[in-house]
Amino acid sequence: MSDMNTAMVERYRNNFLKEVESHVEEGEWVKMCMQCGVCSGSCPLGNAWAHPPQELFMMIRAGKREEVLTSDSMWMCTSCYNCIVRCPRELPITHIMHGLAHYAKRLGLVPKKQPTNEFAEIFWNNMMKKGRVNELKLGLSMYFKDGFSQGIKNALANQKLGQSMMKAKRMNPMEIIGGHGIKNPSELQKIIQKAQEIEDKKLQGAN
Question: What are the residues binding another protein (CB under 8 A)?
Answer: 15, 17-18, 28-29, 31-32, 34-35, 54-55, 58-59, 61-62, 89-91
HSE-up of 61 (CA within 13 Å, CB side)?
Answer: 13
Numbers of helices and strands, H then E, in the chain: 12, 0
Q: Which is nearer to another protein, 8 or 188 (CB)?
A: 8
Transcribe 5-53 into DSSP letters. Answer: HHHHHHHHTT-HHHHHHHHSTTGGGGGG-----HHHHH-TTGGG-SS-H
Neighbours of 30 (CB within 10 A): 23
CB of 31 to another protein, least distance (A): 5
Q: Which is nearer to another protein, 73 or 134 (CB)?
A: 73
CB of 157 to another protein, least distance (A): 41
Q: Which is nearer to another protein, 29 or 103 (CB)?
A: 29
- Could you tell me the CA-to-CA distances from 181 to 132, 148, 164, 169, 187 in Å, in that order? 5, 27, 24, 19, 13
CB of 136 to another protein, least distance (A): 44
CB of 19 to another protein, least distance (A): 12
CB of 14 to another protein, least distance (A): 8
Q: Which is nearer to another protein, 59 or 192 (CB)?
A: 59
* Cα separation, 139 vs 144, whole angstroms: 9
Q: Which is nearer to another protein, 29 or 49 (CB)?
A: 29
